[in-house]
């Protein structure tokens, strides 16, 4: 029997494997990964510094432990070079491997900015536990000052975490507010004030033009000519789905690997999920969902399909918890589940700001709240799909 094979041993790949093993205990299962196959949760990378977490502490299970737990063969430190979808053969640095059904869970790669200067090649990114190990060693050994390019979700989380660990942090972003792509303006403004109160410097509406070496570190020259002195520069401008294998295999791609409502690619019995996938939300509408909840939902559905029970992925709204202790946020971006056309209604009472997004038909399709807690999130979730009230909303405690 040819094995069920998963390429990628990140959270997406291992979640599919775990869900599959709940349903099928005996079918051969192979997991191929370019790294050592240890299990860790990538979202932990952006808030590990203030907790003084060593890289080894983030890896909760080794490849051998995962192999035993999943009754799987884990082919570690192996690069997949091509996929023959007709003959169902994977070519890799470990040789040719046959598969019966295949899951691609290769994630995404950091976007690289085109920046001038003799130190532009020293910009770091953290997209893997090995990146975290390198970054941590750099800032512990010599860096008190850290500049972060990008004030989106990951950039803000890193900024808050590093400031909490005692570092001098500067955030640089071309948008006028932090979290501009996800949060309502009122919440972005609240986050900005909280980050500034944390001692973080923000250069918003601004980009880095060049990065140069100095006698005692690095100098970032901004587009307006101002400069920022730093010891380390971290890029957090976003990720781009890894399409290298999909293109070699001639799978249909858009911004990500295009999958249908069941997670299947354009080739029979090849599936994709996680940061590399572009999901079909409805006929003619696809979306990349780089969040944990959609990934878990897709993993459960694909696992059932792998057992022969064709299962469509039914995404349900799930808020994104932003790990910024200085301003605890929960966001359900309207664009995740709707066209994003509409407007925000914001209210502040008793120290809490709640923003509801109403679409063009006056239906509530998104929200944001800070400070957030489970009770408020649950109440806001219950309000999804309701219409905009004629009278001002009552403040929630």
Binned at pLDDT 50, 70 and 90, residue 397 comes out as: very low
For the cut 90, the answer to whether the pLDDT of residue 335 exceeds it is no
Mean pLDDT over residues 283-308, rounded?
A: 95
pLDDT, tens digit, 9 for 90 and up, residues 63-78: 999 999 999 999 999 9
Is the Cα dihedral 44, 47, 51, 55 positive or negative? Answer: positive
Count the neighbouring beta carbons within 10 Å of the beta carbon of residue 112.
Answer: 12
Distance CA 78, CA 244 (A): 15
Cα–Cα distance, 264 to 375 (Å, whole number): 36
Q: Is 354 helix (H, G, I), strand (E, B) or coil?
A: strand
* Distance (Å, whole) CA 337 – CA 182: 13
Q: Is 236 helix (H, G, I), strand (E, B) or coil?
A: coil
How far is Cα 369 from Cα 331, in angstroms, rounded to an integer?
A: 7
Confidence of residue 337 (pLDDT cuts 50, 70, 90): very low
Using an 8 Å Cβ cutoff, are 153 and 179 in contact?
Answer: yes
Residue 345's DSSP bridge partners are 356
Q: Which domains are assigned to the chain?
A: 4-108+239-306 (3.50.50.60), 112-235 (3.50.50.60), 328-382 (3.30.390.120)
**Residue 144 pLDDT:** 87
pLDDT, residue 1, reads 85
The pLDDT of residue 142: 67
Average pLDDT, the chain: 93
Non-local (6+) Cβ contacts of 177 within 8 A are: 183, 185, 188, 189, 191, 192, 204
Say if residues 219 and 231 touch (Cβ distance below 8 Å).
no
Q: Is the pTM of this model over 0.85?
A: yes
Taking a C-beta distance cutoff of 8 angstroms, is the pair 76, 258 a contact? no
């Amino acid at each position: 029997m040819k094995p069920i094979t998963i390429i990628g041993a990140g959270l997406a790949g291992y979640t599919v494997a775990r869900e599959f093993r709940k349903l099928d205990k005996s079918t051969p299962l192979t997991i191929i990964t370019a790294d050592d196959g240890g299990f860790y949760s990538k979202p932990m990378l952006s808030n590990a510094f203030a907790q003084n977490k060593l890289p080894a502490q983030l890896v909760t299970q080794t490849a051998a432990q995962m192999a035993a737990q999943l009754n799987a063969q884990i082919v570690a430190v192996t690069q997949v070079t091509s996929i023959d979808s007709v003959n169902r053969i994977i070519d890799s640095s470990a040789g040719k491997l046959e598969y019966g059904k295949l899951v691609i869970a290769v994630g995404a790669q950091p976007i690289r900015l085109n920046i001038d200067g003799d130190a532009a090649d020293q910009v770091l990114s953290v997209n893997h536990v090995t990146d975290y190990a390198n970054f941590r060693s750099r800032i512990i050994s010599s860096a008190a000052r850290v500049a972060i390019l990008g004030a989106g979700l990951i950039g803000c989380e890193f900024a808050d975490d590093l400031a909490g660990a005692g570092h001098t942090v500067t955030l640089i972003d071309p948008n006028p507010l932090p979290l501009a792509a996800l949060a309502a303006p009122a919440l972005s403004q609240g986050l900005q004030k909280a980050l500034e109160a944390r001692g973080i410097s923000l250069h918003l509406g601004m980009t880095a033009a060049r990065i140069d070496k100095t006698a005692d570190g690095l100098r970032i020259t901004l587009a307006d000519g101002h400069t920022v002195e730093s010891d380390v520069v971290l890029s957090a401008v976003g990720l781009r789905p890894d399409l290298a294998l999909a293109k070699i295999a001639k799978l249909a791609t858009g911004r990500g690997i295009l999958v249908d409502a069941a997670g299947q690619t354009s080739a029979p019995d090849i599936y994709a999920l996680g940061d590399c996938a572009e999901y079909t939300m409805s006929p003619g509408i696809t979306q990349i969902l780089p969040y944990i909840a959609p990934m878990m939902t897709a993993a459960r559905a694909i696992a059932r399909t792998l057992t022969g029970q064709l299962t469509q992925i039914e995404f349900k709204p799930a808020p994104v918890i932003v790990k910024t202790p200085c301003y605890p946020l929960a966001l359900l971006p309207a664009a995740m589940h709707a066209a994003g056309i509409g407007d925000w209604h914001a209210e502040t009472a008793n120290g809490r700001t709640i923003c509801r997004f109403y679409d063009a038909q006056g239906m509530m399709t998104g929200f944001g709240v800070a400070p957030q807690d489970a009770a408020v999130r649950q109440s806001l979730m219950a309000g999804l799909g309701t219409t905009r009230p004629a009278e001002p909303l009552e403040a929630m405690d």
